[in-house]
Every structure is written in structure tokens, then in C-alpha cells.
Structure 1
Amino acid sequence: MTDTVLEPATETAVADPLFQPITLRDLTLRNRISMSPMTRYFSPNGVPGEDVVSYYRRRAEAGVGLIVTEGVGIDHLTAVDDPAIPHMYGKAALEGWRRVTDAVHAAGGRIFPQLWHQGPLRDPARSSRPDLVGSRPSGHWGKAGHTSYGDAYVDAMRAPTQPIESVEITDIITAFASAARNAMEAGFDGVALHGGHGYLIDSFLWHETNHRTDRYGGDTSRRAAFAVEIVAAVRAEIGNAPIMFRFSQHKQQDYGARLGETPEELGALLMPLAQAGVDLFDASGRVFDRPAFEGSNLSLAGWAKKLTGKPSVAIGGIGLGNGLGETLSDSSETRPLDNLQAARDAIARNEFDMAGVGRAILNDPQWVERVRKRQPFVAFDRANLRRLA
């Protein structure tokens, strides 16, 4: 397979918008490339080991501006399913994360953990507690649509459960705050919150899964209340460190789902989060520069910035020629693609602020350095999905 070839490096590369620094509160990032979170399943009993340390260190050494870790479980019984997903509590796990942050900082990088509660998408069969179902705002898994999940899994998961009770909601908010405090003690530079893709925080935001009639459900602003309280609780624990918040229109339950049908609906959900303390919106789209709403060429990240006034990250297929779903299912060949000029142009015109890159950096630890030097990209190796390359 022939690699995609980029133009040779020139002096003009110094002015590349992707390689300009950006400051979030008191934290300055060396460039505009963010390594997106990617679940890896390489932390037995929730503890990241030396292979995880090396995995993140290699990306920092290659010049990633901001590393966002794989999803990290908070201290709640139904936070995550697979026992090899790392967590942000307990002495062993925090010592492991301290080794990660020390290694990243020694390489000149900056790193946030993505704090995670899977909510409706927790699979009891994969967990050490199969007797516990996932936490759901109203007991609904969500209306199944176009999804990468198999029919048997969907049929098992879509059965209604009991809605999450108010006392458990309070416990989960407290667990997010505790995890954020632990992250600061482990040396992280900020905190990322997973509020997209149909997981717990998103399931409160999404009308399809939140039918509550208490203060956590109802109109758009009430559906934002759970996420707002988490952000506020995290802000109280981490002081002036930045908070990053991932959101998405699409869901794992249905790639065609929409969090907001109009910019106004989306703004009603995002603006309270900005006011509560979010500094950077991580706009997870399936195609990073696809228009988010009819009648406008603005991407999802562009709308996040326009609606909130906060910096944003554009995510979705940067550096590759297909989507994540196609890569995971192997339904089409994943090939390197130089689609970076669109990201450069959008950053230069202030549409969004950073480019979030997942699979390309997972596949090649040196990807950012290749971009900086205008070197060829390497072929995509699907085996890297199953190892810490």
C-alpha cells in the first residue's frame, strides 16, 4: 500500500496554525493538536502499568499538544464494565497515573484524564458485577438506530430498567468530583469529562433517554442540570485547572441521533456548562468539518465556539479517509489521508481552536512529528487497535 505523501517541509511551516500555542486558563499548550481519548483495555484491575506509561510517553515525545487519556472510571459501582478499563481511585491506580503524568511532562507534554461513567452503555456481561445494570436517567437505553452494536447486544441492552434514584445521582456527582481531585494529586494538568456518545452524562442531556420529571429532566435547561452540577463540583475541586467537556450529536445507540435539532437547542445545553466552568468543548463528530445544521457551513466545533464563546476541538476522521465505525467493523479500508488543510483553515479563521486526532495517532506514535515535518504518513495497521503500539 502506498503511503500518502505530504509536501516537503518549508519555512512557512513555522506559521502553520496547527503548531501555534494556545492557553487555557493558566495552562499553555505547545500546539493545537489534541490526542483524542481511545479506550484501550490495558489496565488490569483498573491499574495502568508501564506499558500504558510508555504508550502515552511516546505520543508526548512526538509533540502532541494535549493528550486526553482513554476513558477512566470514577469510583461508582456501575461506572465502567471491563475490569481492564483504568480508574481514578485507589493507591495503585493513582501511583500508575503519576508515572504516566511524570513521563508525559518529562517529554514536554500536557495531559488530561477523561473521567467516565458509561451509564446506559455499561455491559453487565463484560463486568465483574454482572448482577448490576447500568445507570439510566429514566430506565431507557435509547431508541436503537444505525449502530455498530450487534443485534443480540442491542436486544439485551434495550430492556427497560429502573430509573436512577436521586441519592445515586448525588453519589455520582460526588464521585466525579473525587476523581477530579485524585487526578490533580496524580499530576494531571486538567480534567476532561465524557459527556457524549450516549454515556451517562449524555443520557441526561439527550431527550431520548431522559424522561424525568424532577429537576434533572424536562425542558432543555433542566436536562443540562446533571452535567452542570458535575462541572461545578469538579471546578470546586481543581481550582484554576482547565475543564474539557466532550459532547456529540450522534450516540452509540444511534449514529443518526441529534442532541440538538437547532443551534438554539444545542446552545441551551452548552451555555450552562460554559457558565459552570467548562473551558474547552470537545465536539465529537463523525466528520470533523461537516456542517452541523442546515443553512450554515459551521462544523459542530464551530457552533460550540459560537454559542458559548469558549474554545473548541474538532474531531472526526482527521488524518484518515474513513470513519471510526468503518475501521472497527473493517467494512472499508482505513487509509491515511491529508485532510489537514481544512483544519488549518478553520483554525486560522477562528472557527474552532484545536484538531482532535484519534486513530491516526493510535496507529503511529510519530504522527504529529510527521505532520510538523511534512513527512509521509504510514499505512494504517488494524493490529494497533489491539495493542499498545
Structure 2
Amino acid sequence: MTPDLFAPLALGPLTLPHRIAMAPMTRARSTQPGNLPNEMMAAYYAQRAGAALIVSEATQISPQGQGYSFTPGIHTEEQVQGWRLVTRAVHRAGGRIVLQLWHVGRMSHPVFHGGSAPVAPSALAPDAQVWVVGEDGVGRMVDCPVPRALTVDEIQGIVGDFRRAAAHAMRAGFDGVEIHGANGYLVDQFLRTTSNHRDDAYGGSRANRIRFLLEVADAVAAEIGPERVGVRLAPFITARNMDCPDVIPTILSAAGELSRRGIAFLHLAEADWDDAPQVPDDFRAALREAFAGRIMVAGGYDAARAQALLDRGLIDLVAFGRPFIANPDLPDRLKDGLPLSAFDPSALFGGTERGYSDYPAAARA
């Protein structure tokens, strides 16, 4: 018997009431200065506590890990206290929430680093832009410069930053963490031959290119337990100069290693534009064989498409991103077949409650 989208699911120590998760979405509402989570963010997440699992917005593990304005951190005591507002609100509303741990690597700008270049596995520009708020208070997309290649000692320091961030997340009341290894950020940059030209233990062979991911996973799991750890990966997303011809076997190799470590879940970020390439069934089957934990997917799904993959045993959870913005009660709307509201794209990044926590739940007779 195949699981229904609305059937419960065990995920490590958590019991999820259904299979509809909330995907991580950058909204840039943290309090300045300090990139502090706040009451407005707590209200936003609590409104969406009906998700089976909330994966928080990407959260930088250190000042070096920041690449966009107003994104929250998890590296100061004030940030930990700010996140406690969020986790308490979500738990009071009956929800479950994990913190996405983030280091952007080369997806950044010197404005965040005292004028210094961002860091990366290799000194290769991403041909991409990040959102930066200027002194006039206006946010603009600006080009990412050529980054500086990390030393081995610096790499080990970043592994330590991930460990500390995981410890801070648990002190802040999160139910677990997700390591952001997708979408062209630092972990993903190590995985791909297009962004990693190193000739030391962190570059070249597949084993070397997955080394950083595994060291981060080991450090985080040692700190909080592998049953509370997930990893997000993006095998078929090629933007930001990330079109690596060896990425699929590399990710399958990493999945096998993460499975042996008892990591709780993998979260696949899939392309979500209208004519995006579909993930091949043979990859989904190979991933299921390689990884014994739960598999979550995100990227332009609807209930029918998610149920079809559940029916075939290829996934366990589906995460929705943008539909959760204007539909805080999304799981109930999907279950009852209610229409979905559209979100205001002009209010995605930065701002106030408008276009953030002011979307109502569906009216019911």
C-alpha cells in the first residue's frame, strides 16, 4: 500500500502529521544591525506551523557566510535569542522546524566582508548576482566578484563554524538542522568540477570533492545526532556556472556516504521554472537505492505530481515554497481542494508585514 500525501511519517525523532513540508525561502526580514530574527518572523513561521516540517530560510553560520542583505544569522547570542522567538511560536502552534545552515561561499560581495573578496574552493567567479541593500536603503542585484581560494586551515575553520551553528540551533529550540549543500553555495561549490579546481585533498577526484560535505555532516552529526540532520542538494540545477558533467555520480556517491552515517533526510532542490528539465526516473531510483533515510523534494510541485512520486516509492516528503507565501494554511487547502492565493512578488525581499505575514487563511463556511 502506497502512502498518501496526508499520511503521517516518522522522521528521526519527529512524527510528521502528513507529507507536505515548507521549503526554505529567503525573505530578508531580520532586524538590523545584527541580522537578528524577530517577532515579525516568529509570526510568519507560526502562521505556517501546519506544515509537516518547516525548513527555515537559509541562515549564515558566520559573518563570512553571508551573501545577501538582511538574512539572519546563527553565530551570535543575540541571534540565538531571536531564533528562540521563532521556535517557541512554531511549537506553540503545534509545528516542527529545522534550521537551514548556510555558507554562501563565492555567492557574495565585498560589502559583507569589510571590502575583502568572498571565499570559495577556487578563485572562479560564479557569473551571478546577490541582493545588496545600499546606503539609500534600496535593495539591488549586484555582480559577484572573483572570490579568494580558501586555505586548508580555513576550510577546517568553516567545518567548525557549521558545528557551532548546529549547537546554537539546538539551544535556540530547533528540532534539527538542514545543511545547505545546494544552489551554488559553498558546499555545492566543492562538489562540482566547474567551481572546484583544487589539487589538494578537497579537489580533483569525487572522493576529494565530497570530502568537505562529509566533514561538515560528521561535525554537525557529532554535535546534535545524525537523526536530527538533513542535507539539501541540487543535482540538476546548473545556473551560477555550476554545470558540472560529473555532478550526478558525485551526488550519488555522497548520498551513499551520508546514508552510512545515518543522516535523517536528503532534500532535493529541483528547477521550478515552466520549461525546466525533469529529474530522470533512473536518478530517483538510484538515489533511493543509495540513501536509506527520507527523501524530500521541492521545485514546482502540486499535490498530484507529489502523490505520483509517493505512489512509486521514490520520495517521502514534498516541500512547497512560493505557494506557502500567500497560503499559510497550504496543507489544509490542498487537502480540501481549495483554491490557492497568489503572492506579491514585489514583497519577497525585505520590507514589513505586507506581503509577508498579512496573508489570511482560507475562508471556510
For the aligned pair, the TM-score class normalised by the smaller chain equals 0.7 to 0.9
Aligned counterpart in structure 2 of residue 374 of structure 1, from 328, 337, 356:
337
Identify the residue that residue 326 of structure 1 maps to in structure 2.
none
Which residue in 1 is equivalent to 2:54? 67
- Distance (whole Å) between structure 2 residues aligned to residue 168 and residue 254 of structure 1: 23
Q: Give the partner amino acid of 1:304.
A: L
1:140 to 121, 124, 133: 124
Q: Does 1:96 align with 2:96?
A: no
- Counterpart for residue 11 of structure 1: none
For residue 159 of structure 2, give the secondary structure of its aligned residue in structure 1: helix
What displacement does 1:251 show?
4.2
- Report what 1:358 is aligned to: 321
Q: Find the aligned partners of 1:164 and 1:260 in 2 and give their Cα distance.
A: 22
Q: Which residue of 2 aligns with 1:273?
A: 258
Please name the residue that 2:295 is paired with. Answer: 312
Greater shift after overlay, 168-177 or 239-248? 239-248
Residue 198 of structure 1: SS of its match in structure 2? coil
Tell me whether 1:38 sits opposite 2:21 in the alignment: no
Quote the offset at 1:139 in angstroms.
1.3
Are the aligned partners of 2:259 and 2:290 in contact in 1 as well (CA < 8 Å)? no
Query: Could you tell me how far apart the structure 2 residues matched to 1:307 and 1:16 are?
Result: 21
Alignment of 1:85-124 (within 5 A): 85-124=71-110
Please say if 1:238 is aligned against 2:238: no
Question: 1:196–1:251: 8 Å Cα contact kept in structure 2?
Answer: no
Q: What TM-score do the two structures reach when normalised by structure 1?
A: 0.80
Instruction: Return the offset for 1:132.
Output: 2.1
TM-score normalised per structure 2: 0.85
Mapped to 2, the partners of 1:83 and 1:367 lie a distance apart of 28
Name which of 353, 356, 364 aligns with 1:388.
356
Which residue number corresponds to residue 333 of structure 1? none
Given that 1:26 and 1:240 are in contact with CA atoms closer than 8 Å, whether structure 2 keeps it comes out as no
Change (3 A) 1:115 1:51: same
**Distance verdict in 2 for CA 1:165–1:240, change over 3 Å:** closer
Tell me by how many angstroms 1:157 deviates. 3.0
| Cα 1:196/1:343, change in 2 over 3 Å | same
What is the root-mean-square deviation of aligned Cα atoms in Å? Answer: 2.5
Match in the other structure for 2:11? 24
Q: Give the 3 Å change call, closer, same or farther, for CA 55–153 of structure 1 in structure 2.
A: closer
Instruction: Name the counterpart of 1:253.
Output: 240
Structure with the bigger percentage of strand: 2
Pair 302,51 (structure 1): closer, same or farther in 2 beyond 3 Å: farther
Selected match of 1:205 from 188, 191, 194: 191
* Deviation string, structure 1 residues 47-102 (Cα, Å, up to 9, x no partner): 11100000000000xx2000011011112x31103451111122221111111111
**Which residue matches 1:54?**
43
Task: Tell me the residue number matched to 1:79.
Answer: 65
Report if the CA contact (8 A) 1:205-1:259 is conserved.
no
* 1:209-233 superposed Cα distances (whole Å, 9 cap, x missing partner): 1111111111111100001000000
Q: Assess if the C-alpha contact under 8 Å between 1:362 and 1:384 holds in 2.
A: no
Distance 1:132 1:362 in 2: 35
Q: What's the % identity of the aligned pairs? A: 31
- Please say if residues 196 and 202 of structure 1, whose CA atoms lie closer than 8 Å, have aligned partners that are also in contact: yes
AA at the equivalent of 1:248: A
Please tell me whether the aligned partners of residues 281 and 304 of structure 1 are also in contact (alpha carbons under 8 angstroms): no
Structure 2 contact 109–145 (Cα < 8 Å) conserved: no
Q: 1:178 to 1:198 in 2, by over 3 A?
A: same
1: distance between equivalents of 2:7 and 2:165?
31
CA distance 1:377–1:233, shift in 2 (3 Å): same
Moved more, 81-90 or 198-207: 81-90
Contact 2:295 2:315 in 1 (8 A): yes
* Cα offsets for 1:267-289 (capped at 9, x unmatched): 12322233234221111111499
Unaligned runs of at least 5 residues, structure 1: 1-14, 319-338
Alpha-carbon distance in 1 for matches of 2:100, 2:271 = 19
Q: After alignment, is 239-248 or 344-353 more displaced? A: 239-248
- 1:341 equivalent in alignment to 2:304: yes
